[in-house]
Chains A and B, each alone.
Chain A
Amino acid sequence: MIRAILTAAFAVLALPAAAQVDIQEVTSPGGIDAWLVEDHSIPFVALDIRFQGGTSLDLPGKRGATYLMTGLLEEGAGGMTDQEFAAAEESLAARFSWNAYGDSVVISAEMLTETREASADLLRAAIMEPAFDETAFERVRGQVLSIIAGNQNDPDDIAPDTFAALAYGDHPYASQQEGTPESLAGLTPDDLHEAHRRLFTRDRLYVGAAGDITPEELGALLDHLFGDLPETGAEDVGEAPWNLTGGVTVVEFPTPQSVAFFGHPGIARDDPDFFPAFVLNQILGGGNFRSRLQDQVRVQRGLTYGIGTYLALSDHRPMLLGQFSSSNNLVAQAIEVVQAEWADIAENGVTETELEAAKLYLTGAYPLRFDGNANIAGILAGMQQDHMPVDYINTRNANVEAVTLEDVRRVAARLLQPDELHFVVVGRPEGLESSD
């Protein structure tokens, strides 16, 4: 009975479901671009505001400045103290969040329709007129120091941080965006103003909007929020080097379970082979139970609770990365399984069954991503940041469908480099030593 229905469902899915998303390209009277999905069913709007460059724009010796600057935006602005700003945000029931990443600083805002004007005034104050006053600066710097201390004691952070330090030379990617206790000690509020000037510019701005707002209203909002931004700021940083080769680095840490972080260079978003690589990663370690690694390491052998890989599409060094945790007495065996699967797919490609299953999943799941105003606003900002055409959503599933077994075989041979695959293992792994 179930099999009969399943067959029917496969047949139906041969026509990929279309995402019902109507994107409007909005340009404000002042010339600021944004993408909008207009939906008046719930009385609020979500904005996703991104400044490309992120914490990688930190000046030499000023590591942590952009991260700290982002954390301080809501801690006093536009003539308000931190407490006054927080009380105003609560009074309006606006929801702002401020997040810093290696390639962008992301500001998410949700604003009720009935308080939108005043909420926008508040948001503008934080973005355009942050105070960075001395007291708030000291307090938030203390919070960042505790975050750094926490990361330095957490194997889930030590593993990728060690990998980055070994891999990326003197590029900002090699160090932690929060900075170090030493770099933070040298920062002043002036450094945060400088980080703000470098990053918060028109040419780095991308905006997605979704919810209860018209294109005209959005245009006015864009000019109000961003009209006074300077045109340009910092120069971009260059490409990150890749200084690792295949092998294992063990970092001793007192814990019953080791964390393994692994990877090697990947493929860029605009590479002609991107879609085959995307499908290949789904089959290799795309996070569901069907992936090769999840099946071989978890389901068949019980060596981990979960393993996954992902294409890290970083601006300055795209990577293929993965992570898992295994008890200290199992992790060496788990690494052997990963290495064997890596080599097998590089040499033999994948099966027709694996390819079809991955394509069915990817094409069917895609429309489900457009769920809720905040998610949609984020997708719209990300698409612009990646320089995708506005009709990308309509062509994306066809691009996945078009990937052939031969495409995957060719790209697997190019992308998967068993001899380049490096593992950083944090813990007390049994039978495993650093290879370098």
Chain B
Amino acid sequence: MRHRLLRGLLGLAAAVWTAPALATGDVAEFTLENGMQAVVIEDHRSPAVVHMVWYRVGAADEPPGQSGIAHFLEHLMFKGTDDLAAGEFSQIVEANGGTDNAFTSWDYTGYIQRVSADRLGLMMEMEADRMRDLALDPEMVDTERSVILEERAQRTDSSPGALYNEQLRAALYLNHPYRIPVIGWRHEMEDLTREEALAFYSRYYAPNNAILIVAGDVDPDEVRALAEQHYGPLEPTPGLEPRARPSEPPQNADRRVIYEDPTVASPYVSRSYLAPERDPGDQETAAALSLLAEILGGGQTSLLSRVLQTEEQVSLYSAAFYDGLNLDDGSFTLLNVPVPGRSLEEAEADLDRMIARFLEEGIDPAQFERVKFLYEASEIYAEDDTSGLARRYGTALTSGLTVEDVAAWPEVIAATTIDDVMEAARMVFGQHSVTGYLTVPDAEDAE
């Protein structure tokens, strides 16, 4: 009686592998004469459109001593142009029933509006206007600096977990600017100036450094005509070379980060390794690492969850993450939150034990097939989220990948073998790493 339902389910599931006919949406691509690249994703299910402009510049491209300037500029982009007053951009979007926002990461800065599809031209007109004609009142810059300091206070300085991650990252990257937080180090944020923001802006905010992404109820030819009308006349920045950041030297030592804060409720241990990122035409290792993360610490049947949480009950929560969608080196991280009473040293030993066991025992073929099928199915579910598809292309294209690389990714995943994953695991776990403890002061005494 016990396994009745389960057997039935697995029998049915076996038939599923053969029929993964994915109805991928139409994706079109073109480039304007001034160098602006464009991607159009059609989805006619609702009369809405997502309009995004992504710049190939982020926190990892900031001049030394100006950490946070990419993100500060993102805020200032709402503060007016030669045509629009401060705040008017968002007012017009809202008056047209839309929502707008912006985001900054290490490799990109992006601007997004979601509106009724018949307002696309207006969004382009305004986004094109602020790509080249920002006009900043000095007093407003001072007020907005106060806002980003409050943002840092809210998101980072009030959060032991965020402060810990900031320190971990600075230890993981010895030389690459990925070691610097996107929001900026507070002491440098306090001194960011209007002139620094404008210098960064005039160099990097240009059509030949921008990617237009439009997703929704649109026709690619119409998008192209609108883009030529609004973005076509913009002048490119001459002499913009592909980005070349300081790179990592050989990492010759393990590092440890111990962050203590009395308000940490559940202490945990994490272990991070550098890992190769997805590269154009070369995504095989990244695909193997993606599957490795799922197998080790993705869902409830992953090795860490199954053994540490369910069988041995020594962990409250465990996980593995691969961060491979970057222009430069990514990372692979394992995490273990031990049950109360179990020390972080023991929790770290548990992680070591799981890595050793994995390298020794290898991968259960049934689990491997499940994980790959989940990847296939996730492509079906992803089609339901047009904004998510648009973000996927924006992230990939600002990370040095092409539209073809994005299209090929599911096939690369499908072609990955157990041996590929084991080889990737041996490579990653053979490196020096950063082990971190987030804990309370005198945790040992407290126990």
Closest CB of chain B to A97's CB: distance in Å? 13
Q: Which of B146-154, B200-208, B249-257, B424-432 contacts A (4 or more CB under 8 A)?
A: B146-154
Contact B383 A118 (CB under 8 A): no
Q: Name the CB-closest residue of A to B311.
A: A83
- Chain A 355-385 interface residues, beta-carbon cutoff 8 Å to B: 357, 360-361, 363-368, 370-374
B129 at the interface (CB under 8 A from A): yes
Q: Which residue of B lies closest to A152 (CB)?
A: B265
Interface: A79 (CB within 8 A): yes
- The answer to whether A79 touches B129 (Cβ under 8 A) is no
Whether a CB of chain B sits under 8 angstroms from the CB of A411 is no
Question: Which listed segment binds B: A172-180, A239-247, A252-260?
Answer: A252-260
Residue of B nearest to A122 (CB): B9
B339 an interface residue at 8 Å Cβ cutoff?
Answer: yes
Residues from chain B with a CB closer than 8 A to the CB of A17 are 47, 97, 116
Q: Is the CB of B122 within 8 A of A79?
A: no
| B210 → chain A closest CB, angstroms | 19
Is residue A168 contacting chain B, with contact meaning CB distance below 8 A? no
A-B contact pairs, 17 of them (CB 8 A): A41-B45, A42-B23, A44-B381, A79-B1, A87-B6, A90-B371, A115-B13, A125-B5, A150-B266, A154-B263, A254-B262, A299-B87, A304-B147, A304-B154, A364-B95, A364-B98, A368-B116
Of B298-306, B320-328, B346-354, which stretch is located at the interface? Answer: B298-306
In the assembled complex, which residues on chain A have CB atoms less than 8 Å from the CB atom of B149? 327
Taking the complex as formed, is B403 at the interface, i.e. its CB lies under 8 A from any CB of chain A? no
Q: Is the CB of B96 within 8 A of A13?
A: yes
Q: Which residues of B contact A43 (CB under 8 A)?
A: 23, 380
Of all chain A residues, the one with the shortest Cβ separation from B121 is A5
Cβ-based interface call for A300 (8 A): yes
Instruction: Find chain B residues with CB under 8 A from A340 CB.
Output: none
**Beyond A9-B119, A42-B380, A257-B157: 18 further Cβ-contacts under 8 Å?**
A2-B84, A41-B23, A43-B380, A82-B300, A82-B310, A83-B306, A84-B3, A88-B10, A115-B13, A117-B12, A138-B313, A139-B309, A146-B266, A290-B94, A361-B95, A364-B116, A368-B99, A372-B385
Please give the number of chain A residues whose Cβ is less than 8 angstroms from any Cβ of chain B in the complex: 88
CB distance from A122 to the nearest CB of B (A): 6
Contact A78 B5 (CB under 8 A): yes
Considering the complex, give the chain B residue whose CB is closest to the CB of A119.
B9
Give B262 Cβ to nearest chain A Cβ, in Å.
Answer: 7
User: Which chain A residues numbered 233 to 286 have a C-beta less than 8 Å away from chain B?
Assistant: 253-257, 259
Chain B residue numbers with a CB within 8 Å of A330 are 150
CB within 8 Å of B: which of A19-52?
20, 39, 41-44, 46
> Judging by beta carbons under 8 Å apart, are A80 and B6 in contact?
yes
Q: Give the shortest distance, in Å, between A4 (CB) and chain B (any CB).
A: 10
By the criterion CB–CB under 8 Å, are A90 and B299 in contact?
yes
Q: Evaluate contact between A303 and B316: CB separation under 8 angstroms.
A: no
10 residue pairs, one from A and one from B, having the closest CB atoms: A364-B97, A302-B146, A93-B377, A86-B300, A91-B13, A149-B265, A305-B151, A257-B153, A150-B265, A361-B94
Which chain B residue lies CB-closest to A298?
B147
Judge whether B125 and A1 touch: CB under 8 Å.
yes
B266 lies within 8 A of A149 (CB): yes
Distance between Cα atoms of A303 and B149 in the complex (Å): 10
Shortest Cβ distance from residue A123 to the other chain B in the assembled complex, whole angstroms: 11
Which residues from B are CB-within-8-Å of A150? Answer: 265-266
In contact, B158 and A302 (Cβ under 8 angstroms) = no
Given contacts A84-B3, A91-B10, A153-B263, A303 and B150 within 8 Å (CB-CB): yes
Tell me, rounded to whole Å, the shortest Cβ–Cβ distance linking B185 to chain A: 15
**Which listed residue (B99, B121, B313) contacts A365, Cβ 8 A?**
B99
In chain A, residues 35-86, which have Cβ atoms closer than 8 Å to a Cβ of chain B?
39, 41-44, 46, 78-80, 82-84, 86
* Pairwise interchain contact A302-B143, C-beta atoms closer than 8 A: yes
Which residues of chain B (168-194) have a CB below 8 Å from chain A?
none
Within residues 281 to 337 of chain B, which ones have a CB less than 8 A from any CB in chain A? 299-301, 306, 309-310, 313, 316-317, 337
A88: which of B1, B9, B143, B264 is its contact (CB, 8 Å)? B9
**Residue B19 at the A interface, CB < 8 A?**
yes
Question: How far, in whole Å, are A92 and B114 apart by their CA atoms in the complex?
Answer: 33
Residue A417 is within 8 A (CB to CB) of chain B in the complex: no
| B1, B45, B121, B384 — most chain A CB neighbours (10 Å) | B384
In contact, A155 and B266 (Cβ under 8 angstroms): no
A304 partner residues in chain B, CB cutoff 8 A: 147, 150, 154
* Residues of B contacting A84 in the complex (Cβ-Cβ under 8 angstroms): 3, 6
Complex CA gap A368/B118 in Å reads 13
- B9 to chain A minimum Cβ distance, whole angstroms, is 4
> Which chain A residues lie closer than 8 Å to B23 at the CB level?
41-43
Best-surrounded residue of B3, B6, B98, B387 (most CB of chain A within 10 A): B6
Partner of B97, one of A20, A361, A371, A372: A361
Q: In the assembled complex, which residues on chain B have CB atoms less than 8 Å from the CB atom of A79?
A: 1-6
Q: A121 within 8 Å of B by Cβ? A: yes
Within 8 A of A (CB), among B355-390: 370-371, 373-374, 376-378, 380-381, 383-387
Decide if B423 is an interface residue (CB 8 Å cutoff). no
Taking CB atoms, residues of chain A closer than 8 Å to B151 are 305
Closest to B140 in A: A299
In the assembly, what is the distance between CA of A78 and CA of B12, in Å?
17
User: Is A326 part of the binding interface, using a Cβ–Cβ cutoff of 8 Å?
Assistant: yes
Residues B380 and A139 in contact, CB atoms below 8 Å apart: no
Question: Do A305 and B2 contact each other (CB < 8 Å), given the known contacts A1-B125, A86-B301, A115-B12?
Answer: no
Asked if B381 and A325 sit within 8 Å, CB to CB, the answer is no
Q: Which of B214-248 contact A (CB under 8 A)?
A: none
Contacting pair B370 A325 (CB below 8 A): no
B420 at the interface (CB under 8 A from A): no
Determine which residue in B99, B317, B378, B386 has the highest number of CB atoms from chain A within 10 A of its CB, and name it: B99
List residues of A (319-369) whose CB comes within 8 Å of B's CBs.
325-327, 330, 357, 360-361, 363-368
In the complex, A301→B139 CA distance in Å? Answer: 11
**Once the chains are docked, how many angstroms separate the CA of A182 from the CA of B127?**
56
Among B47, B300, B383, B386, point to the contact of A83 (Cβ < 8 A). B300
A289 to B149, CA, bound (A): 18
B250-281 contact mask (Cβ, 8 Å, vs A): 1 or 0: 00000000000011111000000000000000
Q: Which residue of B lies closest to A371 (CB)?
A: B46
Q: Is the CB of A83 within 8 A of B310?
A: yes
Asked whether A396 is an interface residue with its Cβ less than 8 Å from the other chain, the reply is: no
CB atoms of A360 and B97 under 8 A apart: yes
Which of chain B's residues 82-96 have a Cβ closer than 8 Å to chain A?
A: 83-84, 87, 90-92, 94-96
Is there contact, CB below 8 Å, between B147 and A302? yes
Q: Which of B1-31 contact A (CB under 8 A)?
A: 1-6, 8-10, 12-13, 16, 19, 23
Quote the shortest CB–CB distance from B220 to chain A (angstroms). 19
Whether A112 is near chain B, meaning CB under 8 Å from some CB there, is yes
B12 & A288 in contact (Cβ 8 Å cutoff) = no
Distance from B195 Cβ to chain A, minimum over Cβ atoms (Å): 20
Instruction: Determine if B115 is an interface residue (Cβ-Cβ < 8 Å).
Output: yes
Q: B126 an interface residue at 8 Å Cβ cutoff? A: yes
Chain A residue with minimal CB distance to B91?
A: A290
Is B166 close to A, CB under 8 A? no
A298→B380 CA distance, assembly (Å):
41
Residues of B contacting A327 with CB < 8 Å? Answer: 149-150, 153
Q: How far apart are the CA atoms of A85 and B98 in the complex, in Å?
A: 42
The answer on a CB contact under 8 Å between A39 and B45 is: yes
Whose C-beta in chain A lies nearest to the C-beta of B262? Answer: A254
**Is the beta-carbon distance between A368 and B115 smaller than 8 angstroms?**
yes
Contact between chains at B316 and A142 (CB < 8 Å):
yes
A254: chain B residues at CB < 8 Å are 262-263
CB <8 Å contact, B97 and A153:
no
CB atoms of B150 and A373 under 8 A apart: no
Select from chain B the residue with minimum beta-carbon distance to A95.
Answer: B381
Closest Cβ–Cβ distance, residue A268 to chain B (whole Å)? 27
Q: A327-B153, A371-B48 are known contacts. Are A118 and B95 too (CB-CB below 8 A)?
A: no
